[in-house]
Amino acid sequence: MSKFYVVATPIGNLGDITLRAIETLKDVDLILCEDTRETKKILDKYGIVKPTMSYHAQSKLSKTDKIFELLEEGKNLALVSDAGTPGISDPGALLVSKIKEYLSDSVDVIPIPGPSAIIAALSASGLPTHEFTFLGFLPHKKGRETLFKEIAISERTMVFYESPHRILKTLESLVKFCPDKKVCVARELTKIYEEFKTGTPAEILEYLNKNKEKQRGEFTVIVA
């Protein structure tokens, strides 16, 4: 049977890759990348010389057909995202779903676990982690207010990703709908400017407004 590996890669610090991930990337016939330029940084660092092919949200159906063709030929492929674990708020989830649906008898889908911004943020947040709900990226418009209302009444810890362009607006919504909740904002995880800031939504909003440079980077937001 062909093997399709779902390989977790670093979310920032390139040292955060497992030995098994390196061995897998060296052994497969082709590496599918969200962005081949990003993946090249990892391959170059670890001396991995393998052909790559882009696969992302805008990839055409013909690319999926090509991937299926390679798997049916007996090739072993690896899927990586730009950062973290593929398939988690990532277009790779659709590809894995299609392989499971149409090629389950001839292809083994094998996870190679590793870095995940969700788990990294939770582990160092100091907030309750025994139960949590991951929301991915919040919708920009439709359903956004409803979701904040759900966050406000939830007894579980809620975790989601946010971009630097929307972090202030999101905190404003948290101030409006759940002002008394405790929030941890994890920024630039595993990178040079990694930072965790915990407080009420209003306190975090005030902090970011006073420190414009802290509004840069990718955010993982935890509400408890």
DSSP codes joined into one string, 2-70? EEEEEE-B-SS-TT---HHHHHHHHHSSEEEES-HHHHHHHHHHTT----EEE--TT--HHHHHHHHHH
pLDDT digits (tens, 9 = 90+) for 17-66: 999 999 999 999 999 999 999 999 999 999 999 999 999 878 877 899 99
Query: Average pLDDT of the chain?
Result: 96
Average pLDDT over residues 116-137: 97
Lowest mean pLDDT among 96-100, 137-141, 187-191: 137-141
User: Domain spans of the chain?
Assistant: 2-112, 117-223
155 Cβ contact partners less than 8 Å away, ≥ 6 residues apart: none
In what order do the strands lie in the sheet containing 52-54?
Answer: 52-54, 30-33, 77-80, 2-7, 107-112
* 78-94 residue pLDDT tens: 999 999 999 998 888 99
Whether residue 216 has pLDDT greater than 90: yes
Is CATH 1.20.1090.10 the classification given to domain 117-223?
no
**Is residue 148 over pLDDT 90?**
yes
| C-alpha closest to that of 116 among 136, 138, 140, 96 | 136
Residue 211, classed as helix, strand or coil, is coil
Domain 2-112 in CATH 3.40.1010.10: yes
Q: For residue 193, how many C-alpha atoms fall within 13 Å in the half-sphere facing its CB?
A: 9
- pLDDT higher for 59 or 195? 195
Contact 93, 87 (CB under 8 A): yes
